[in-house]
Structure formats: structure tokens, C-alpha cells
Amino acid sequence: MLFTKKNHLIGVDIGSRSVKVAETIQKNEGRTLRNFGMADLPQGAIVEGRVKEAETIADTIKGLTQRLKIKEDNVATSISGYSVIIKKIVVGNMSDEELHENIQYEAEQYIPFDVQDVNIDFQILGAHESNPNQMNVMLVAAKAEVVDEYIELLEMADLSPRIIDVDVFALEKAFEQSYFPEENSVALVDIGANKLNVNIVKNNVSAFTRDVAVGGEEITAEIVNRLGCSFEEAEEIKLGKTPDKMPQQDLQDIVFSFVSSWCSEIRRVIDFYYSTYPNETIKRIILSGGAVKTQGFLKHLAAETSSEVEFLDPFRNLEINEKTYSKEYLSGVAPQAAICMGLASRRADDK
């Protein structure tokens, strides 16, 4: 039996350099991949999570949904960056309804924005570990103007936004759908064009999150600085499509420099988590995002953190029609598809 149309949502991940769209169908025997596709965006269309070229992005989304022959117009999307604050807080025991009435007061103590300028949501995580009179709550605040930008953008693409999620939680949803519940702490690391997200989950619940403004475009920008070429030409060089434009040793030195920096950032986040939860050990790191397949990154991160490191595969528990999507194609795009697939598993009545 399929979910009713009112609950069915399309996942739309709007990244700095590409748009991803996915659709899954829930049946009694499990989920099926109905649609997945990607389309490139020009540099500067999205900058630090802010919409700069709304018409271009809307046309790209519209073209992609038409190419995939998607009929549904209700969608889930997500945002990230400095306009989003995620904070685990401790409050006195109260009901969901009572917390809803008091959340603005609680939020004022933790967010650097005027509470009148943000959209606030929360999730009660459960009882506090050492005080039975308190409970843990995940607080999420997003600048209203950013949320409005994405709503307007999707409406320009003739879509109806039903859920505005946060990247780290969409990624967590993809992990939850694709892997067995983990009692141990697991680090979900997503690296895109210009952002690095870390979400450490325990028992499939987010315990700690951190955003860092680094990503794959740093490598591209350095190639531009070295050669004085265009951004597009530098992207081709970075991806190894024009090996005659830069000595391979020079390219490898640039890549290694930034890969080392990313690993150090992730190590710092993990060390901070250990300082907060000294009895925890992260033995597994799961990677997603367009930049995580950068040459040498996986091996370097494994050595830096002494952890098992692997790429997230959001397609692993789905029924796939291999006449439509080959295993090779889905394996190649899996890390980039993770957030989008997490969004596609959302339903309109999700919290």
C-alpha cells in the first residue's frame, strides 16, 4: 500500500553547485526508488546558504523535475550555514505543549539572533542523564528571511514546500533509513562546495553538531590563484579532465593541503565531543557530499582519527529497477545524494 498523496513528498536538495531531486515510494515490503537526478548550478547561484540567483535556480529545478517526469509538487528541502543554529539544551520536565509555549523564552538564552527574526523548532530527546527533573531538548532556530528565500524559490519552480529541514538532520534521516541502529557514537560528515557539516549520532539520535565554512571550492579557488584561469577551467583541472593544464605534482600538493586541513577540522570537532562526553569513542565515520571523494581524503581521515571511514550509501536498502538506474551510477553519486534521499524519505506529517 502506498502512502496517500497528501503525505508523499519529493526531496529537493539545493546545494552550492548542484540541485538534487529524489522520489521514493513506500510499500508494505519496503521503499522503492522511483526518481533521482542532478543538475549543475553556476558558481554564485547559492553563496553561504543564501539564494543569489533565484530565477536561475528555479529554472534548473523545474527543468530537472520535468526531465524526471515528476508529477508531485509537494516537496521537502533543507538549509544550512550560519543562519541556522542547532543546540542541545537542558530544560525542566514539561509536556510538548508546555515547551511549545515556553520555547521562545528558552531560545533567547542560546541563539545570537533576535527571536522575533527566527523560526524555532525543537525535539524532546528524553530524560537528562543525571537529573530526573530535567530533560534534553534539541533546539533549532533558522533566520526567517532565509526560510522565506527557499519557500519563494521553490514556489517559483511551481513546487509547494511542505517541510524545510536542516541538512544535518536530513543526512541523519538518510543514515537511519540505510543502516542498522547504532548504539555507539557515529560521526556523519558531509562536505560540499563550501561547507563541512559534522553530526555525531548515538542510538540514532543526534548528540552533537558543528558547521565549518570549508569545502571543495577552496581547491578550485587555489587553482585559479595559481594559474589565473577561470573558475570553470579550474574545476576541470581539479577533476582531472584537463591534465595538461597543470603539473600533476602541483595539483596533488594543492589537494593534499586542503584535505589535511579538512581532516584537522573534523579531528577538532571529534576532540570537542570527547571533552563533552569523555566515555564515548567514535569508531566509525560515514562520509557524504560532493567533496568527500577528493583524492586521498578517506585514507587521510582514517589515519587522522583512527576510525573506520566509509562513504554513505543512501540507496542500499531501496528496491532499485536496474534498467532505470545502474548500480555503477548510483554507487558513483551515492555520497552526493545522501541529503536529498533523506529529504525524500520525509512525510508531510513528520515532526
Number of domains in the chain: 2
The candidate with the shortest Cα–Cα distance to 268, out of 309, 217, 211, is 211
Percentage of the chain with pLDDT > 70?
Answer: 97
Instruction: Compare 60 and 323 and report the one with higher pLDDT.
Output: 60
- Specify whether 249 is located in the same domain as 201: yes
In a domain, 126, yes or no: yes
pTM higher than 0.75: yes
- Specify whether 254 is located in the same domain as 189: yes
Question: What would the grid cell of residue 123 be?
Answer: 525535539
C-alpha 268/C-alpha 186 separation (Å) is: 15
Q: What is the mean pLDDT of residues 194-219?
A: 87
Q: How does pLDDT run across 52-101, given as a tens digit for each residue?
A: 999 999 999 999 999 999 999 999 999 988 889 888 889 999 998 999 88
Highest mean pLDDT, choosing among 1-15, 126-140, 190-204, 298-312: 298-312
SS3 labels along the chain: CCCCCCCECEEEEECCCEEEEEEEEEECCEEEEEEEEEEECCCCCEECCEECCHHHHHHHHHHHHHHCCCCCCEEEEEECCCCEEEEEEEEECCCHHHHHHHHHHHHHCCCCCCHHHEEEEEEEEEECCCCCCEEEEEEEEEEHHHHHHHHHHHHHCCCEEEEEEEHHHHHHHHHHHHCCCCCCEEEEEEECCCCEEEEEEECCEEEEEEEECCCCHHHHHHHHHHHCCCHHHHHHHHCCCCHHHCCHHHHHHHHHHHHHHHHHHHHHHHHHHHHHCCCCCEEEEEEECCCCCCCCHHHHHHHHHCCEEEECCCCCCCECCCCCCCHHHHHHHHHHHHHHHHHHCCECCCC
pLDDT exceeds cutoff 90 at 40: yes
Mean model confidence pLDDT for the chain: 90
Q: How does pLDDT run across 162-201, given as a tens digit for each residue?
A: 999 999 999 999 998 888 766 788 999 999 988 899 999 8
Domain that holds residue 94: 84-141
pLDDT of residue 4: 40
In a domain, 147, yes or no: no
- Specify whether 196 is located in the same domain as 109: no
pLDDT of residue 205: 79
Instruction: Compare 337 and 349 and report the one with higher pLDDT.
Output: 337
- Specify whether 129 is located in the same domain as 224: no
Q: Given pLDDT bands bounded at 50, 70 and 90, which one contains residue 161?
A: very high
Q: What is the mean pLDDT of residues 221-229?
A: 94
Instruction: Compare 299 and 48 and report the one with higher pLDDT.
Output: 299
pLDDT of residue 284: 92
Q: How does pLDDT run across 270-300, given as a tens digit for each residue?
A: 999 999 888 888 989 999 999 998 988 999 9
In a domain, 20, yes or no: no
Give the CATH number, domain containing residue 90: 3.30.1490.300
- Specify whether 131 is located in the same domain as 198: no
Q: Given pLDDT bands bounded at 50, 70 and 90, which one contains residue 2?
A: very low
